[in-house]
Amino acid sequence: MIKWIVSHWKRDTGKFALLVIGALLISSGLSILIGLSESSKGTIVNSLEKKWNASYDIVVRPSGTKSETEKDGLIDPNYLSGLQGGISFDDLDKIKEIDDVEIAAPISILGFSSIIEIFGEVHFPESGIYKITTNYVENDGVRDYSDGYTAYYGFDIGLNHEDMDIISRYGLFASTEENLELHGSFTFLVAGIDPAEEAQLVGLDEAVDGSRYFSDSDKVHSINETSQGDEELEELGLDFNYKRVTAPVIMSNFSFVNNYQEAILEKLDLETDLESEEDIKEFLTELEQNGKEDYLDTFETEPVETVKATSEELHENLLEQSSLGAYRDLILYEKPSPLTYKAVPSPFPERWNIAYEIVPPANQTVNIPGEKNGDISDYTYYTKYRELAFYDDPSLSRAPRLTPDFLDYYDPRQLSISSDPVTELPMETYRTPTAKHMLDASNSPVNPPKQVTATSNPFGYLMQSPTMLTTMEAARKIMGEEAISAVRIKVSGVNSPGPESQSKLEAVAQEIRSETGLEADITLGSSPQPVLIKIPSVDDLDSLGWVEQPWIKTGESIAIYDEAVLGYSGIIICLMAVAIMYVFTTNLIAFLSRKKEFAVLKAVGWRNSKLRHLLLTESMLIGGFVSFLTFIVLLILRQENPESLSIWRICLIICFILLIYFVGALYPSYLVHNISPHQVMKQGEVSAKGARFGRTNGVVSLARNNLISRWTRNLVSVLAISLPTALLILFLFVSFQLNGVMYTSWLGEYVALEIGSMHYYAIILSLIIAIMTTAELIWQNVLERTREIALFKALGWGNPRIYMMVLLEGAILGLISGIVGIFLSIGILSYLYGDSLSFGQWLWLVLINVGIPVVVGLFSAVFPSIRAVNIEPYRGLE
């Protein structure tokens, strides 16, 4: 039988060549895909290891500061944000004396200070009543937190701006000057460090802008300022008692927070133009009687101008003013305050086995006893994820003052810590900790995950890194003996994680614990563990959903977590489906084109089983050839990367290939039954039963009817084109709209759909196979219509019309595939991505989705159309 089949192929070399090309495409596609997918995994691991590299080996914290989470062996990388001193200078000295402690760098988180800055000015164009809306908007990468207020100004209406009563009487400020300066506040973190140790640990001295780093000649002094005992002040009703510390500072020239300050100036549309004094008087009376601001709120306004300043501009301004010595009186106000976590069930335990929820303290309001000055009464705008902590109650009368002696700027990006600017490493003191917004409040994946950054809110869920650094001496003056929040330790002779360094570090940590009674944790070589943290609803803000942060898993060496990757299996499935369709089609076509032959064989007494056998053997021969090729290619690939490609896996692929060739031959061998040997008695061709829809009156309707009358087989090519097209759309969407990775939940698991160039190779391959599939089908259609076409030619149809007819057939097939593809890809997208597609994105999808398959269809029709044109007219007359 094999001889029979081979002789068949030998005599129809064109068809055989086509078979070989298809076989090669399928085998190379599968083997390259399988080979490539393995090697691409290594890169993720390397980059993560590089990033996970702390600048210190051990961290020492005050005793009793271990949070709930550390029972699981997990340290919040943002641990400094909750540490308000607790380690004494004695302890620090003890630590320094321990052998092998090379660097012991203390840090004291002093707290937050705010300054009032001028961020811009507005101009009143003419006399009238104006409304100024000032907004302070902060963004943490997910949403805006805004705080604002409205004020009314009367410009040039004869009011005395020095008369303070105006505000309480009319609800507006008076201005006689055309320009009005706008003030905004800027909150930043102040920390104390040991200049010498810090220079050793992270090279802080190298990161300063000019040449002026801390030096021994810098003086720190403090005085107590108090009203107590001063009768004159007490008589005035003043009551203050604070420490003023004058100390050298350096300031970060980089702002990690993202906010802006904005003011909108609008003119009120009054009925009167306030020209005459009577008008003004009348209006003011009206104002006084009708409810001041509330009355002013009822007027229509006309925009005049908008002024905006970003956090970079504000920061720059701060630095400029600081270097000029403009700030003499920085009030240290908010203290660092810890977050409280509680363990909660993870929404996707496969991906994150540990999840916490932040527990915000209940009902926190700021009491401002006897406070008259309205400036600071807005403290309730804080999003209070932490317990409120202040140096003093909001009257500020006892909060310490810092008079900065500005030395220089430093650039936190030039410190000798992990050089990756978007480092995942959260433990560094000089980088604002980040997290990734992974799931929204309803637990659906966020696409793409957003980088979450700290805001300037002292009680937010992420604390900003220090902007102002001063010395430990200053910290001691401000906070006293136990001013140190943490000590970061580098042990001599320890460079990389490993069993030796581990035991050495363990010994040092143990000594610190026993000498000082403090907590000491080894950070070097600890494993990062992605932890999912729920940011709960707080005050009137909704829950943010879940963020992911790499936490420190103590006592465990580097272990990289796997992320289930969906994209790879997606393309393999697509390619396999297209391969199956191709094999199915070639088998079907082979069968259809030899239908008459089979009828003859049946007539001369061949059994059905023999014909079935013939078809199966033929298909398995090709399948065997394809699997052989694939096997060779995979073996070669395996040579380069032996451990990744198991023999078992190769065998699985080979089995799959044989299976599809087997399955592909099943349908045609089933059809063998339906061949009637009687057909050989007929004079004409074996003609398809025509289903006709509508009248045939032109090339278009002819092509359409040709397609409809053979709709079952055309369905195959529609599927073959539309499946890769749909995936292509999906891939393009993910690549361009989501930066290549779509996070999604799939069968209850959290997975990433990662798109790389490999995916596009696979799609192109699939489309080529689709072209071949379609080309074979149209070829067969043309073949079956040889007489018809010959007749058209005999009737005087020109070649262009014949071309048109066949090409149109391809184009229509493509168009239908495109429409099917649209539904497919939109279905997949909305299943994986939810329903958050915009109209523009839809349009974009639809356009490509129609374009590509039409081109594919046209391509497929090229060879069949040439064949159709070459049909001799006399064939119709035979």
Partner 1 sequence: MYKQIQLNGITKTYGKQNVKTVALNDISIRLHKNNLTSIVGSSGSGKSTLLSIVGTLEKPTKGTVYYDEKNISEIRANQLSELRNIHIGFIFQQFHLLPALTAIENVLAPLFHRKTSYNKNTKAKELLELVGLSDKLHALPSQLSGGQQQRVAIARALIAEPDWILADEPTGNLDTETSEKIIALLMEIKQQTACGILLVTHDIALSRQADRIIEMKDGQIIADTRINNNLVQTND
Give the position of tokens 């209006």: 283
270 closest CA partner among 129, 124, 126: 129
CA distance 507 to 504: 5
Q: Which is nearer to partner 1, 47 or 676 (CB)?
A: 676
With residue 548 as reference, give the H or E element that holds it: strand 545-553
Q: Which is nearer to partner 1, 26 or 871 (CB)?
A: 871
Q: Which is nearer to partner 1, 40 or 617 (CB)?
A: 617
Q: What minimum distance in Å lies between the beta carbon of 710 and partner 1?
A: 22
Q: Which is nearer to partner 1, 676 or 739 (CB)?
A: 676
Nearest-Å Rg of the Cα atoms of the chain is 39
Q: What minimum distance in Å lies between the beta carbon of 578 and partner 1?
A: 29
Q: What minimum distance in Å lies between the beta carbon of 658 and partner 1?
A: 24
Q: Token pair for residue 612?
A: 């079935």
Sign of CA dihedral 45, 46, 50, 56: positive
Q: What minimum distance in Å lies between the beta carbon of 591 and partner 1?
A: 15
**Residue 517 identity (one-letter amino acid):** G
Q: What minimum distance in Å lies between the beta carbon of 684 and partner 1?
A: 10
Q: Which is nearer to partner 1, 602 or 638 (CB)?
A: 602
Q: Which is nearer to partner 1, 612 or 759 (CB)?
A: 612
> Residue 499: which residues within 8 A CB-CB, separation 6 or more?
none
Between the alpha carbon of residue 602 and those of residues 1, 589, 597, 674, 753, the distances in Å are 16, 19, 9, 11, 52
Q: Which is nearer to partner 1, 4 or 667 (CB)?
A: 4
Please check whether residue 73 is in contact with residue 556, taking contact to mean a CB–CB distance below 8 angstroms: yes
Q: What minimum distance in Å lies between the beta carbon of 681 and partner 1?
A: 4
Q: Which is nearer to partner 1, 3 or 695 (CB)?
A: 3
Q: What minimum distance in Å lies between the beta carbon of 597 and partner 1?
A: 6
Q: Which is nearer to partner 1, 690 or 800 (CB)?
A: 690
* Partner residues linked to 864 by β-bridges: none
> Residue 555: which residues within 8 A CB-CB, separation 6 or more?
73, 522, 526
555 closest CA partner among 586, 595, 525: 525
Site of interaction with partner 1 (CB under 8 A)? 1, 4, 7-8, 11-12, 596-597, 600-610, 676-678, 680-683
Q: Which is nearer to partner 1, 212 or 613 (CB)?
A: 613
Long-range (24+ apart) CB contacts under 8 A made by 709-716 are: 710/781, 713/585, 713/588, 713/592, 713/777, 713/780, 714/777, 714/813, 716/581, 716/584, 716/585, 716/588, 716/773, 716/777
Q: Which is nearer to partner 1, 324 or 604 (CB)?
A: 604
3-class DSSP state of 606:
coil
Q: What minimum distance in Å lies between the beta carbon of 16 and partner 1?
A: 11
Q: What minimum distance in Å lies between the beta carbon of 783 and partner 1?
A: 13
Q: What minimum distance in Å lies between the beta carbon of 8 and partner 1?
A: 5
Q: Count each helix (H run) and each strand (E run) in the chain, helices first.
A: 22, 24
Q: What minimum distance in Å lies between the beta carbon of 675 and partner 1?
A: 11
Q: What minimum distance in Å lies between the beta carbon of 605 and partner 1?
A: 2
DSSP 540: T
Alpha helices per DSSP H over 795-838? 799-833
Please check whether residue 755 is in contact with residue 763, taking contact to mean a CB–CB distance below 8 angstroms: no
Please check whether residue 817 is in contact with residue 853, taking contact to mean a CB–CB distance below 8 angstroms: yes
CA distance 712 to 580: 16
CA distance 237 to 877: 120
Residues making up the chain, counted from first to last: 878
Q: Which is nearer to partner 1, 23 or 614 (CB)?
A: 614
